Structure formats: structure tokens, C-alpha cells
Amino acid sequence: MKSKQYNVYTDGSYIPETKLCSYGYIFVDNEEKIKYQYKMSSIDNTGLKSMYAEMKAIMYAVKLGRKMKVIMKIYTDCQTIINILNKGNTKKYLSKYSSFISEFVKFMKKHKNNYLIEWVKGHSKNVYNNYIDKILRNSDLELGVLKKVEIHI
């Protein structure tokens, strides 16, 4: 039996006022049915800000994809993450943020057979990348909890 394929769009955001990051992903299947999830947490390395959140989104998406036993093509609008994964270009970041970046790279290498990852231009005409961006930006941050919002694409 052939595994179901999904395009997965990820995004991360840092909210300076709360010092919290939000991160999320959407899974889009061939029939364009959308499943999404987002979370919020305090940030360990504030220097990484939204890149930290984006990495968290990618890791959670990979975990869910493995649990669902699906094939994923992950899209991120963070070129730095693509460089880190594809070129091993971590020296610039490892000096300050070694523990989290190392954890991320190790996790992604361990699960490399479960996904492909590509860069997508942020804030462009890609409807799904814009959709996850809107979910994170338009979420209600009362009491540090993200609430589901209605967004139509």
C-alpha cells in the first residue's frame, strides 16, 4: 500500500512583548484538505527568535508525519534552516546556540528518509505559506494561549 503524501508548510513567530514563540504547521493532501496545529512556548534562546520557532514547527511536523506514516514535502520560508540542513552550514549559529541547533540537526538527520525540505519565499503568493503565517499572526494571545482562528483561503 502506497503512503499518503502531504505538502507541509511550517512557520514560526516570536512575540517580543510576551517573550513567547508560536509555531505551527499545516498538512495539505492531494485533495487540498488541510490539517493544522500550532503551539506556544517560552523561548530558550532569544537570539534565535523566529528561527527557533520555525525549527520547532518542523520538528513537530516530522514527528506527526512519522506517526501518520506519510510522505512529507516540507516547505519553510527560513533560508537559514535550509542551509543548515543541506550544507551543514552551522558554524555561524553553533557558537551561540549550540545545544538547540545540534538537537535540531541530529533529529532531522535521524528522520531524513521521512521528508524532503524546500525553501518557499515568505509573504509571497504561496497560499499555504501565507495561510500558516496568518494562523500564527492572527491567533489570540490572551494568557499566553493560542486559540484557534477562522481563516479562509
Q: Does residue 113 carry a pLDDT above 70?
A: yes
Does a structural domain hold residue 151? no
Q: Does residue 34 carry a pLDDT above 80?
A: no
Does a structural domain hold residue 153? no
Does a structural domain hold residue 99? yes
For residue range 11-26, list pLDDT tens digits in order: 988 777 777 777 888 8
Average pLDDT over the chain, rounded to an integer: 78
- How crowded is residue 80: how many other Cβ atoms within 10 Å of its Cβ? 17
Nearest 5°: CA angle at 127, between 126 and 129? Answer: 70
Q: Does residue 152 carry a pLDDT above 60?
A: no
Nearest 5°: CA angle at 135, between 130 and 139? Answer: 145
Does a structural domain hold residue 150? no
Does a structural domain hold residue 45? yes
Residue 60, H or E segment: helix 50-68
For residue range 59-91, list pLDDT tens digits in order: 999 999 999 899 899 999 998 899 888 766 566
pLDDT value of position 149: 43
Q: Does residue 151 carry a pLDDT above 60?
A: no
Confidence of residue 31 (pLDDT cuts 50, 70, 90): confident
CATH number at residue 20: 3.30.420.10
Does a structural domain hold residue 47? yes
**Number of domains composing the chain:** 1
Confidence of residue 119 (pLDDT cuts 50, 70, 90): very high
The fraction of the chain above a pLDDT of 90, given in percent, is 21
Does a structural domain hold residue 95? yes
Domain residues for the domain of 79 are 5-144
Does a structural domain hold residue 38? yes
